[in-house]
Amino acid sequence: MQSSLWGAVKSSLGWSPIRILLKRDKCIVGGAQILVRRMAYSLKVGHILQGPILQEYEPEVYDIVIEHVMRLIQAHNIHYFVLRPPPSCSDVNMLTKRGFQKSRISVDRQATLMLDLSQGLKILLQDMRRTTRNNIRQAENQGITIREGKEDDVPIFYQLLKATSQRRQFKVECREYYMNLWRLLEPTNHVKLFMAEYEGEVLSSLLTIPFGKTVVAKRVGWIGTKKWLRPNELLFWQAIKWSMENGFEHFDLDCIDLSAALALLEGNRLPSYVASSDTQFKLGFGGSVELLPATYEYISSRVLRLFSHASVSLLATSNLTTLLDFALLKK
């Protein structure tokens, strides 16, 4: 999310990237990518997700980057600003002393499930739930096949994603957004599409983002029928195997329910509502639960500060939650 490629992808939704680059002796030591957009009611919003990024954490360097962020907020008259730091650089004191406060809006994901691919396929299979292993074998035995998708498959993926969004009642970006995402990221191998087929029919599709040492399972679409064939378990498993075979170290299942994540970390039982959810499906693959840093907000507008609760409702009404990728996989 801090790459120039991602900034180009988000530009198709009306966001304008602004970048801070900090150097020492001609070497880059830190920086941040800010995305800014004008909303309804002449409000201007901005955000930094998974940033700022530092070569190595140094308090003074972090402070300088945040100082420049504050200058840009003022210079560009940004009324509402959201910052979600990366796990490696989440100095809360640096943010609060600049006027940031913990946000009541959940930006992006709050917890994720990470697979360590260095363990090898045998260990990964052992760490899976028995039902997930059985479902993978069932899909293979019943003739489900997995292939890599091409640009011509992006519209098919989008149809499956739309069908899933209608069943689960969550919003998705427009079709052109995914076409643009593919054209921008595919030439540098930063997007990979997997298609699950049965007798020539595509049943489900998984869009992943390989970046650095990690492959992120970003979006999945499923036709909603032929569940007994278990296409989704095999779909994810083949994506995990592909990631390992191509030298990646981690497979990020991207988003799980926060309450479920906390329950697992505390050794408690999962909430009952998780039983038939995507979180339950993902937990079947094993892996380690990771909580992500809290989100912080800065409200520069005096009016919005005075009516902060109402302002959050107003921003939500303007679809800010969708535009900032809030709750990316709430399905």
pLDDT digits (tens, 9 = 90+) for 152-208: 999 999 999 999 999 988 889 999 999 999 999 999 999 999 999 999 999 999 999
* Residue ranges with strand state E in 27-73: 27-38, 44-49, 53-54
> φ, ψ for residue 181 (rounded to 5)?
-55, -45
- Rounding to the nearest 10 degrees, give the CA dihedral for residues 142, 148, 154, 160: 20
pLDDT digits (tens, 9 = 90+) for 269-316: 999 999 989 999 999 999 999 999 989 999 987 666 655 554 554 454
> Rounded distance, CA 251 to CA 192, Å?
13
Residue 40: pLDDT band (50, 70, 90) is confident
Residue 329 lies in a domain: no
Residue 168 domain boundaries? 111-290
Q: How many CA atoms lie within 13 A of 266 on its CB side?
A: 10
Give how many domains the chain has, as a whole number: 2
248 in the same domain as 140: yes
Residue 210 lies in a domain: yes
Mean pLDDT of the chain, nearest integer: 89
233 in the same domain as 149: yes
Residue 76 lies in a domain: yes
Amino acid letter, residue 118? S
- Residue 162 sits in a domain whose CATH number is 3.40.630.30
297 in the same domain as 285: no
308 in the same domain as 212: no
DSSP-assigned beta bridge partners for residue 175: none
164 in the same domain as 96: no
Residue 72 lies in a domain: yes
> What order do you get walking across the sheet with 250-252 strand by strand?
145-148, 192-198, 201-211, 214-222, 250-252, 111-116, 288-291
> Rounded distance, CA 257 to CA 241, Å?
25
Residue 331 lies in a domain: no
DSSP-assigned beta bridge partners for residue 88: none
176 in the same domain as 59: no
Closest CA to 13 of 205, 172, 151, 188: 172
194 in the same domain as 227: yes
Residue 330 lies in a domain: no
185 in the same domain as 62: no
Residue 32 lies in a domain: yes
18 in the same domain as 158: no
